[in-house]
Structure 1
């Protein structure tokens, strides 16, 4: 066949030449420098549009104009989340109808992420560049759920964020019962109640970017409205039958804190579950420093679970050196990676 076709086309026939390949346009290595780009912080995200606050000198200005932007095509599938530090070009006037473009996402210092459930392999980045994770938990109405507290602590420790326990509705229950469980971890805490003094909480938040995380109905939106009076975050109520709150905030939102001390809070939607499929089992014990030091004598490959035959945590329990509640919480997290949370 090859011999029969040999010489079929002369050099003057168009079939003689190789057909042009697709996308043969020469590509340049030069990329736009965006010398005119300005720095900004992502305040909120809504259906592919990003509200930004332009960076300025000194603390964030609550009166600073907000800029609406979209993601530039060269960024591809790179995600942009609340708290991201970005560079933006285009119309940054903040006027109605103005639209800018995000052309670069700066390197993130911290990432708060979760999966929808423990068996969900897809990670969801919630917030970037926050320094503190404020875990908001009601002492009553609804009852505190240690599962979320433990999971949020793991998320904070593995992301490099400082966790802070914020216990609300102290007028309804004694905080000491819950605090006694977590005191050995050395986690900072504040206690609040409706109409009470928020001074200790403001001190924890001053000069830092903090994420507020909690179940619906725990009083998170009430706190946000008290800390930032013009926030206008909708306040939810707890269902008397289920004991759970309804979702009020529908998206994460960064709010500058008023006052000379500066800082900002990121309000997140109330959550029902906090999956940890992205956290490796060996990372979990590192989130429990009081237990981690007790596992030095564990055999190699020990996961420190309840089924491990020679786990040093069991010896520590028998000798009274380990807090049974902490061991139970850790092992519940370990087991929850393969059992859906209810």
Structure 2
């Protein structure tokens, strides 16, 4: 304060104040980003602590995210543009400079009250829900939730029922028949021709509880994966363990399977009743006649779905299946 009074007494004004030069220069910062026209197309097949394993023209390339992508994160299945060292040598490192638009996104939350979504995989065509028929028995809650997540994401669900030598698959198949969800039945050492038919020419992600036989299936489908030892890579070189999500090419089937660690829960905080209705076109038009904000559960005031079914637009089994998934989300 005293110094300020002395300055005014001496008659200093703004013109006497020397401005410090901008150490970064006076040129405005450009928002233009490099075009990277030479970037090669690749697909992320594994992610490990900020490093991305990308398959580029059949070569496994290790890459990091370019700074210009900001905080955009990539997941297994993402299609990207890559520049830099494409040799695939152990010490080589490329850069991901482009993240292509995703066709589908399979996501979940940690629980139903968690607002933060976690993207599991991108660009999958099919969700293979692996459930054992015994030891352990079917977890209908997880199956229901996986079906909801698949339908809401526009991904086709497929039931894969393992250990059929220990229990009959009929109760499970009957439970989900109103949803028209296809099912394949397997047992250890048995043929997998039907499952291979569903996986051909598709990108399929396998989800299930630990102990349902998912690793056994992967080993039978992709012998070079060797999931029993926990070491795999996209084409069998052996870099990633079973604790991570990894995409594996299916020999002779022109398809991919994405293996995921065993899950304990599948939160669906991001899925609404309207999201689920999208997968039930025979009920969707009837729902437009419900009162605003209707949750479409049985007995809800103003719900028109029961009348819609009575008019012959859908079936009671389909409505019951829809409501079964609705309350499980």
TM-score class, shorter: 0.7 to 0.9
Which of residues 25, 39, 51 is equivalent to 2:53? 51
Asked if the contact 2:148–2:325 (Cα under 8 Å) also holds between the matched residues in 1, the reply is no
Counterpart-to-counterpart distance in 2, 1:91 and 1:171: 50
- Per the TM alignment, residue 108 of structure 1 is displaced from its structure 2 partner at its CA by 0.7
Counterpart for residue 72 of structure 1: 66
Contact 1:185/1:290 (8 A) holds in 2: no
CA contact under 8 A between 1:313 and 1:322: conserved in structure 2?
Answer: no
Where 1:173 maps in the other structure, the secondary structure is: coil
Q: How many residues were matched structurally? A: 312
**Cα offset, 1:112, TM superposition:** 0.6
SS of residue in 2 equivalent to 1:140: coil
Measure the CA separation in 2 of the matches of 1:183 and 1:226. 27
The separation in 1 between residues aligned to 2:13 and 2:202, in whole angstroms, is 75
TM (norm. structure 1) is 0.81
2:221 paired with 1:217: no
Question: Residue 283 of structure 1: CA displacement?
Answer: 1.8
User: Is the contact between residue 140 and residue 172 of structure 1 (CA under 8 Å) also seen in structure 2?
Assistant: yes
Residue aligned with 2:316, SS = coil
Select between 145-154 and 285-294 the one with higher mean Cα deviation. 285-294
Greater shift after overlay, 311-320 or 103-112? 311-320
Correspondence 1:277 to 2:279: no
Higher mean Cα deviation, 19-28 or 111-120? 19-28
Cα RMSD of the aligned pairs, angstroms, is: 3.0
Any stretches of 5+ residues in structure 1 without a counterpart? 56-63, 237-247, 337-342
The structural deviation recorded for 1:281 is 2.8
1:8 corresponds to 2:12: yes
Cα distance change, pair 10–217 in 1 and its aligned pair in 2 (3 A): closer
Identify if the C-alpha distance between structure 1 residues 5 and 163 changes in structure 2 by more than 3 Å, giving closer, same or farther: farther
Structure 1 residues 158 and 331, CA gap change in structure 2 (3 angstroms):
closer
8 Å contact kept, 1:147–1:329? no
TM-score, normalised via structure 2 length: 0.84
Shift of 1:31: 2.4
C-alpha distance in 2, partners of 1:117/1:134? 21
* Correspondence for 1:192: 186
Work out the CA distance in 2 between the residues paired with 1:315 and 1:285.
16
- Please give the per-residue CA displacement for 1:162-207, whole angstroms capped at 9, x wherever unaligned: 1111111111111111111111211222111111110011111111
* Separation (CA, whole Å) in 2 of partners of 1:26 and 1:70: 28
Tell me how far 1:306 sits from its aligned partner.
4.3
Instruction: Provide the C-alpha distance between the structure 1 equivalents of 2:310 and 2:288, rounded to a whole number of angstroms.
Output: 16
Say if 1:222 and 1:235, in contact at 8 Å, map to a contact too: no
Take 2:54 and 2:175, find their aligned partners in 1: how far apart are those partners? 40
Is 2:245 the partner of 1:252?
yes
Q: Give the CA deviation at 1:96.
A: 1.4
Q: Which moved more, 1:119-128 or 1:288-297?
A: 288-297
SS at match of 2:75: coil
Map of 1:268 onto structure 2: 260
Q: Sort the Cα spacing of 1:208 and 1:5 in 2 relative to 1 into closer, same or farther, 3 A.
A: farther
Q: Paired residue for 1:243?
A: none
CA distance in 2, matches of 1:185, 1:10: 77
**Is it true that 1:28 corresponds to 2:30 in the alignment?**
yes
The alpha-carbon distance between structure 1 residues 23 and 82, as it changes in their structure 2 partners (threshold 3 A), is farther
Write out per-residue CA displacement over residues 247-296 of structure 1, whole angstroms, 9 at most, x where no aligned residue: x931110000101x311110011101111111123223334556556656
Change (3 A) 1:315 1:40: same
1:81 aligns with 2:81: no
Structure 1 residue 234: deviation in Å? Answer: 3.0
